[in-house]
Structure 1
């Protein structure tokens, strides 16, 4: 009986991760195809009514969305967590009477650690940081896709756009932790097993936002994120890399060529540990100067580097591993 339960648990874990990967890769396209298809069937009124409502509801993602605890607490996320497994590590207390901007690193191929830790309750964020509400900010273009946008909002995801961040940090009270995967698409192209590279030397927008609203900066590093897939790294200047960069410039994300284990797209069963660092106190500056932005950006990079080196050994890396910031 115990063995049967173990097999069932393994099966549920695989299914939970597979559905998430498939959603990550294909759900947006599937939603678009479905809505267009319905327009040419007897169900066209449904599609028409949805598009009318979509126009009326267009600004909702940037005005607080429609977050639901029900979706964030789905049992499927617990199986998703256990597949790797994903673990959330707290290194300092966070004051629920303040707002925060978490910088999450690295992006990896699919930002599994950031999603599991901050967009679901699978890793126990609410219990670890009572009074603090995490909000993962993702590519704004996803919220223009019908049906998908509603699913994303229900899980508490928000567009990584200025209006959205302004709303979360100024009109949603205190205790908000806005999570931004700073490296974005450029960092995903650098993702590869054994590599600890983050793209952020020129990424200063999140620091400026933090200063404008007096939100403390919190570095976050997810160990194991880059180990999940083997990516085909195209050399700089090659035709394939130029096409990737062009696609990234137009669409906002980069098409990565990668392989996992089973079914090719299933990630490896590698432990993932998301470590949340200590907050960096940031003053409120309505119009921050470039010197102030540079100062706190430097403090942030130093804090991220310290966080990496203090936790790398306990998270499975050797003492010789270095963090490369580009």
Structure 2
């Protein structure tokens, strides 16, 4: 009985070690708990907690745990100064307007985009990050996302944010762009989508393109093609390989070029033509952001689209 109790305790801890290892980006840490402890209980507890975290609780949407003052403090300022990450505004933002910031590309781990959210707080804008469903199925990660205002990327979340006059930040390319991280030095891969275009039209959001040059260089992806994991969570397990093969990002410069906002008139029932026209305009403005970076840094990075 004593052995069973200890195994259960250790097994319960394994899931947190595994999730932590996922973000540390080293497969050694994933295998270590199973090598040291009772594999049966560790595995069963891992599956049980992952299944539990499939549940979508109502507070995923209403931001009940959001603590805005965490976005602005001396510790955050200190951390940001340690990285060569720059935010370049090509036009002035009105803090009283309702914006939808679209960050491209996603990157392997969107850590630099998290600090972009903190940067916006420094200029008086507190957008709600819309995150992939998988974020809300991971222990600790879900709770961490809540306190920074994270919400599940759904139409319901957009409606609630719009009703409360909250700006949004969306990494539209999502997991489809992750696999291209660290593969190219002379081009940026962006997955073209139109869902956020329709949302901006329906709820009157001003679209702001943000081109993150260098985001793809922070981590390299390593994919574990476990079919059982994909069936459970909807994705393959991506491990981010950073500096020293852990979560610490590689030393590289990141430039977030913030484009000029595109004002949008509310249209609750936009036609396909109207959605396409706004989409074409948005991606042209995104290309302008990259052109601005190239001209100011004497670079020749290309933008390549993949249709989704």
Smaller-chain TM-score range?
0.7 to 0.9
2:300 aligned with 1:320: yes
What corresponds to 1:166 in structure 2?
A: 159
Question: How far did 1:147 drift?
Answer: 5.0
Q: How many residue pairs get matched?
A: 263
Q: Does 1:293 align with 2:284?
A: no
Q: Secondary structure at the match of 1:200?
A: strand
CA contact (8 A) 2:22 2:240 kept: no
Deviations 1:78-115 (A, max 9, x none): 34323322222222122334312111011111112211
Distance 1:245 1:294 in 2: 36
**Partner of 1:256: helix, strand, or coil?**
strand
Confirm or deny that 1:77 pairs with 2:102.
Answer: no
Give the RMSD, CA atoms, in angstroms.
Answer: 3.4
Q: Cα 1:196–1:244, aligned 2, differ >3 Å: closer, same or farther?
A: farther
Partner of 1:178: 168
Counterpart for residue 44 of structure 2: none
Q: Is the 8 A contact 1:92 1:277 kept in 2?
A: yes
Instruction: Give matches, 1:246-325, under 5 Å.
Output: 251-314=233-296, 316=297, 318-325=298-305
1:62 aligns with 2:61: yes
Work out whether 1:93 is the aligned partner of 2:88: no
Q: Note closer, same or farther for the CA distance 1:231–1:200 as it changes in structure 2 (3 Å cut).
A: closer
Ranges in structure 1 where 5+ consecutive residues have no aligned partner = 1-20, 31-39, 41-50, 235-239
SS state at 1:153 partner: helix
Aligned-residue offset at 1:217: 0.8
**Residue 300 of structure 1: how far off its partner (Å):** 0.5
Distance 1:280 1:312 in 2: 22
CA 1:74/1:254 → structure 2, altered by over 3 Å: closer, same or farther?
farther
Q: Give the 3 Å change call, closer, same or farther, for CA 135–245 of structure 1 in structure 2.
A: farther
Report the 3-state secondary structure (helix = DSSP H, G, I; strand = E; otherwise coil) of the residue aligned with 1:133.
coil
Matching residue within 156, 161, 177 for 2:149: 156
1:244-290 CA deviation, whole Å, 9 max, x = no partner? 89966863545335532235442212122212111111111111111
Q: Say whether the 8 Å CA contact 1:102–1:180 is kept in structure 2.
A: yes
Alignment CA distance shift 1:23-1:286 (3 Å): farther
**Normalised TM-score (structure 1):** 0.70
Q: 1:8 maps to what in 2? A: none
Judge conservation of contact 1:113–1:274 (CA < 8 Å) in 2.
no
8 A Cα contact 2:198 2:270, kept in partner:
yes
Q: Does 1:104 align with 2:103?
A: yes
Are 1:231 and 1:256, in contact at CA under 8 Å, matched by a contact in 2?
yes
Flag the 1:302–1:250 CA change in 2: closer, same or farther, 3 A. farther
SS at the partner of 1:218? strand
Q: Structure 2-normalised TM-score?
A: 0.73
Supply the distance in 1 between the matched residues of 2:101 and 2:229 (Cα, whole angstroms).
27
Q: Distance in 2 between matches of 1:300 and 1:143?
A: 29
Residue in structure 1 matched with residue 187 of structure 2 by the alignment: 196
Distance change >3 Å, CA 141–CA 297, structure 1 → 2? same
CA distance in 2, matches of 1:67, 1:22: 23
C-alpha separation in 1, matches of 2:226 and 2:295: 34
Unaligned runs of 5+ in 2: 1-18, 25-29, 31-40, 42-51
CA distance in 1, matches of 2:141, 2:300: 43
Distance 1:257 1:69, change over 3 A: closer
Distance 1:75 1:97, change over 3 A: closer
